[in-house]
Amino acid sequence: MKNSHARSEMTAKSAVLKLLSDDEIAKLSQQEGGPMLAEGEEYIHLENIHGGVRRIQEKNPVKMGEILPRGAVREATWSAICALVAATAPMN
């Protein structure tokens, strides 16, 4: 079961990354070593895609290289990512 969850996460991560344009990938790469996001900003954690859209919380910092911030992509891309995440979420 654990292996199928890991495989599902990898498949979802790959699908999300395929939605990004070259410009969005470049912007994401530039942000990797940059400052943290402000509290309340939305992101997808790339190592836990099925966790869905999250918001930055001051008490729970995240590493920039592990997330896809909403501000790094166009609104149309973000909408497509959200739809993909919802469609690939495992059934409980």
Note the pLDDT of residue 62.
78
Note the pLDDT of residue 37.
80
Note the pLDDT of residue 81.
95
Average pLDDT value over all residues in the chain: 85
Distance (Å, rounded) from C-alpha 60 to C-alpha 80? Answer: 26
For the record, the structure tokens of 49 come out as 């895609």
pTM for this one? 0.82
| Predicted confidence pLDDT, tens digits, the chain (92 residues) | 567 777 888 888 999 999 999 999 998 888 776 667 888 899 999 989 988 999 988 777 777 788 999 999 999 999 999 999 888 877 65
User: 28-34 contacts: CB < 8 A, separation 24 or more?
Assistant: 28/68, 28/69, 28/72, 28/73, 31/64, 31/69, 31/72, 32/64, 32/65, 33/64, 33/65, 34/64
Note the pLDDT of residue 91.
65
